Amino acid sequence: MLDYYRFKEVHDLFTKGKCDEARKVLAELQEKYIEVHDENEMLRTQLQEFEDVLYLAKNLEYDGHSYWLKTGTIKQGPFCQNCFDRDGLLIRLGESGDKWRCLSCGVVYARDEAGLASPARDNGERREPGKVIHLYK
Ligand SMILES: [Zn+2]
């Protein structure tokens, strides 16, 4: 924690003409500030990651075949069950005729009349990855 009195000490040392001593204390304070700043940034990043995970835990639904993400009143998806379960990645399935295909792992999902996806036979074809949302590091 940065100490107000250490900064006051620097001020007093400069005022008394003890510039070398003041610079030394100021350098220590700068070093400490940088450490605190870096720790703060790391904690902010961790907090954001925890908030993201919590958001997903509250808003991610599994319909028995694939994942859907509720954002307000909109339900986004479907997302590949294979990629999420294996890597923690939300990969949106792309429409491919009467099927949905994962653009990352290539798994093909059959669509039923209700628009639900269920895993279908993988034809082995691979495409370039689509948009990737990283949940875990
Ligand atoms: Zn996938």
Whether the CB-CB separation of 65 and 81 falls below 8 Å is answered with yes
Residue ending a domain, choose from 54, 78, 93: 54
Q: Which domain holds residue 39?
A: 4-54
Q: Both 73 and 97 in a single domain?
A: yes
Q: Both 50 and 75 in a single domain?
A: no
Per-residue pLDDT of the chain (137 residues; tens, 9 = 90+): 568 899 999 999 999 999 999 999 999 999 999 999 999 999 999 999 999 889 988 999 998 889 999 988 899 999 999 999 999 899 999 998 889 999 999 999 888 755 556 665 455 554 455 555 556 55
pLDDT at 106: 92
Ligand 1 centroid from CA 42, angstroms = 30
Nearest to 64 by CA among 136, 118, 127: 118
Q: Both 46 and 74 in a single domain?
A: no
Ligand 1 centroid from CA 76, angstroms = 16
In whole angstroms, give the CA distance from residue 115 to residue 100.
Answer: 10
Instruction: Give residues whose Cβ lies within 5 Å of ion ligand 1.
Output: 80, 82-83, 91, 102, 104-105
Structural domains in the chain (count): 2
In whole angstroms, give the CA distance from residue 99 to residue 81.
Answer: 15
Beta bridge pairs of residue 74:
71
Ligand 1 centroid from CA 66, angstroms = 10
Residue ending a domain, choose from 31, 54, 77: 54
pLDDT at 53: 86
Ligand 1 centroid from CA 96, angstroms = 14
Reported residue count of the chain is: 137
